[in-house]
Each structure stands twice: as structure tokens, then as C-alpha cells.
Amino acid sequence: MRGVHSVVDDLRRSVFEEVARMAYEGDYSKMDELPYKIIPGEVAKYRDSVFRERAIVSERLRLACGLPLRSASEYGLPSAGMEEANISQKYYDPPLINVIPFACNACPEKEMRVSSNCQGCLSHPCQNVCPRNAITTDKYGHSVIDNSLCVKCGRCVEQCPYDAISKIERPCAKACGVDAIGSDEFGRAKINYDKCVSCGMCLVNCPFGAIADKSQIYQLIHTIRSGEKVIAIVAPAFVGQFPGATPAKLRKAMRLLGFFDTMEVAVGADLCTIEEAEDFLEKVPEQQPFMGTSCCPAWSIFAKKTFPDLAPYISMALTPMVLTARLVKKDYPDARIVFVGPCAAKKLEASRRTVRSDVDFVLTFEELNGMFKAKDIDFATIKPDECDKEFEEGSGAGRGFAVVGGVAAAVKDHISKIAPERQVPMEVGNGLRECKKMLLLAQKGLKNGYLLEGMACPGGCVAGAGTITPVAQSTKNIEKYKAAATKKSSAESSFAGRLKEAEE
């Protein structure tokens, strides 16, 4: 369902817009009115009750302010506890990704269903291929599936000549690459946080909009209003997320929001490329059999959780976000840094104690768009000033980190420049399910000598949970942006000499 605009997108984004507007106005007492502004009138539009619609919006508003989720049995206004959120900095109290229980449709976890298309055919191929004898016929000859026996192998689906059998699967669970979604006692989706890596794929694949992550948008704007120097570092996946937003226009728009300056994270991507290339040459295969890339936090957490024996082989290089933030803080020690990107998992990365001193806030593109909407910024009419220059710091290779395969390609290219005789076989895990298959092969010794790139979101960063533009279009935008870079490889980066400085 991704890539098709829906009312779920509108509701999610309207919450960010209203929270941003409230934050800029500096009066959170208006929060209790927002559910009525977002869901006006007396007649429900989307669910069985307008009161349920407003209750769901209330919880979304709270999560957008970084407050904890409440159950339907808890009493309190939407603004309850806002005095704790009305501060200039608030890290995420776990969990980051939340299922709003009374918004969940309690979809079936996984089952096979026979539709009225069944013709009761004589051959019954569905029965013949079933390995568990889970299919019988009723008195009319129509197939009937006993889901208590069914193992959901799908053979019956493939064999039915009338396409009368289908596999029904909960969309959020289907999108979860780590099988972290089960059910509570009422059959509603429930996240197993021991498995969850906060990639957010469940969030953007739930057709009922029942899953949401926490935000720092309110605290960020609070910090901007307090007069502190806030610098944004923007992931290259921003291209095409905001229609009409050239890099120069984006810098102007960010200044209008109150940011001191804006820098592109492709700078850090180039440094990450150099560091991982050097590590690969030094360690593979003498010290370790293969090396996995480090930049995707959800992939990195997944690999270390699921394959602890392989954890030492995931690169320890700092991510592009952290490397860029450290460079900026070297130049502006008193600045607060906000990473703006496509990723929900970056919020979790930035909340780690080892990263907190480098990255103060994380915003997704959707959240940033809410700030643009709140301040009525229109990229069609905005005119950059002389100081609003294009991003020229990052190389084409660094910009390519935004799409699947881009990280490994950049590292391999850099190795070819510093050690042209070295052959580097590489493989890419496109989504966590593919990552798991890749690591299972590595565990068996079948990926020795390889550079392995893991991307939690199928398609890469351009498919992150905080993006606005469809993945296919974003990929095309990045390829154009990459081709337009004046510096093609990470080796050409003017910041290459500052890698050691950023690592300190």
C-alpha cells in the first residue's frame, strides 16, 4: 500500500502540523482543542464513532509531543503531563514505536480463506497438494480450510484454477522483517520489543493508522524559540520530498523556521565510506571473515540481536549522521544539532548515551513538513538569498547512500582507488528478511571475503518510515542528484582530511 496517498497519511501529517503550530505559538493549553480541530463536527468520517476518532488523534498528539501512550481505560485530557514535555530537550522514553490499541482493527494474524469463487471442481487440486490434509469439502463440493491444521504454505493458493483461495495476513506483521508483531488478549497487534528494531515499516503499512512513533518536534521548536543556535544536518534522501525544494530553497526555508544553518549528511557519508574501506582492507580476511556496513541502525541492531556470534563483524565505523554532527560541533561547539532524515530508527540511535552529546534531535521528513505547513512555507514562491547556496560538500557516492546498494558501492569504489588490485565481492540485504537470509549464509561461511550491506527498509533510506515521496520516484530523484554532484567519489571530499578529527 506504500506509495498510494491515503487519509491515514493526511491524519498523521495534520498531527505534526498542529503540534508544530502549537509549539511555535508557545501555548500547549491549546492541545486539548486540537482533536476537535483535526476531527470536526458530530459525524464520524473514518470509524464507527467521532469520539473514537478524536481519542485516537489525542494519543497521536501525545506521541508527537514525546508523551507516553495511554490505554482506553486511562482518564485524562490530551495535554495531561505536558509540563514534562514542555522543555528544550527530551529523549525518547521507550518504546519508540507504539500500537494505539483502540485504533487497531485486530486483523487476523495469518490464515487461508476460500472465497465464493470456489466452483467445487471435481479434481480438487487444493486438497491434493495440502501437506496436512487441512482441506475438506462441504455438501456442495466447495473447499473448506481448517486453519487449526493449515501451515500456511500457500500450495493451495498456487493450484486453485479459479483463484478462489487467498492468504490473509496482518499488514503490519507482514511488513515487519523481524517478526516482532503478535497479538494481545483481544486479538489486537502487539509489538515484541525484544525483537523490534524500530525500523517503522509496521507504522507505514498499517491501513488503519494504528501505529505511531514518538517525536521531538515540540521540544525542537521550544529550543529554537529559546534563541539557541540550532543547526540542521539533512540526509540526502530529502531530494524530492518537498516539491520544488532545491537545496538552496531548503536552506532558506530552514532559516525561516529558525535554524541557524543547514548542512548535508552526505559529508558524513563520505567519511564513513573512507573509514569502512580502510577497515575492510585491514581486517578482511585476516581478522574477520567478512564485514557488514554500519550506517543503517535498524540493520545493525538486528544483526547483533539475531546473530550475536556475527556481531563483531559489523563495522564499528561511526554513521554518517554522527560523523556529520561531530564535524558541525567542532566548528560550532555551542550549537544544538538536529538530524533530518527518512528514518525512525535514527531516533533510537540518537538516544543512545554514546551519541546524545553529538545529536540533540531527530526529525523525519514528515515531521519537518509539518513545521513548513505550520509556518506557511511554500517552496513554489520562496526565493533563496545570497547566503543560501547549493549543497556542494557531499560527493555523488555519499549522496548514493540513500538508495539500496549505495553504501557498498561507495565503499567498493573507494577500495578500488586505494588498493586497485583488491577484489571486493559484495552483497546487499534489501529489507530485513533479505538481511536475515544473507547473514544465515554468512554464518555458514558462504560469504567469507564479502562486504555485506544491510538496509532495513526495502529500497533503502528513500523508503524510510518518515518519507513523503513514493520509493520509486525518490530513487530516481537520488540518481539525478547523485549524477549532478561535482565530486563523484568519496576520495574527492574536501572533508576527507577531517576524518580523524570527527572520530575523536
pLDDT tens digits for range 174-209: 999 999 999 999 999 999 999 999 999 999 999 999
Amino acid in the structure at residue 68:
P
Element (H, E) at 433: helix 432-443
Reply yes or no: is the peptide bond before residue 470 cis, omega within 30 of 0. no
Average pLDDT of the chain is: 95
Tell me the per-residue pLDDT of 435-460, one tens digit each, with 9 for 90 and over.
999 999 999 999 999 999 999 999 99
pLDDT value of residue 279? 97
Query: How high is the pLDDT of residue 328?
Result: 95
Of 171-175, 290-294, 366-370, 500-504, the poorest mean pLDDT is in 500-504
Tell me the average pLDDT across 211-224.
97
Q: Give the position of cell 552483497.
A: 427
Q: Identify any residues that bridge with 453 across adjacent strands, giving them in sequence order.
A: 428
How many angstroms from the chain centroid is the CA of residue 222? 24
The CATH code belonging to domain 110-169 is: 3.30.70.20
Torsion of CA 262, 266, 271, 277, to 10 degrees: 170
* Nearest alpha carbon to residue 8 among 96, 108, 97, 103: 103
pLDDT computed for residue 281 by the predictor: 97
Q: Of 276, 354, 359, 261, nearest to 314 (Cα)?
A: 276
Side by side, the strands of the sheet bearing 230-234 are 261-264, 230-234, 336-341, 361-364
Report the alpha-carbon distance of residue 32 to residue 12 in Å, rounded: 17
- Average pLDDT on 411-433 reads 97
Bridge-based pairing state of the strands 230-234 and 261-264 = parallel
Burial of 105 (0-12, 13-18, 19+ CB in 10 A): middle
In this predicted model, what pLDDT tens digit does every residue of 118-155 receive, in sequence order?
999 999 999 999 999 999 999 999 999 999 999 999 99
- Render pLDDT for 371-396 as a digit per residue (tens, 0 to 9): 999 999 999 999 998 888 877 678 99
d(CA 337, CA 350): 11
- pLDDT tens readout for residues 35-76: 999 999 999 999 999 999 999 999 999 999 999 999 999 999
Q: Where are the domains of the chain?
A: 7-96+192-218, 110-169, 229-503
Cβ neighbors of 343 (< 8 A, separation 6 or more) are 200, 235, 297, 298, 364, 457, 461, 464, 465, 466
Is 119 in a helix, a strand, or coil? coil
Give residue 383's pLDDT: 93
pTM of the model: 0.94
Residue carrying C-alpha cell 575492510: 280
> According to the model, what pLDDT value does residue 392 have?
67
Quick one: pLDDT band at residue 501, thresholds 50, 70, 90?
confident
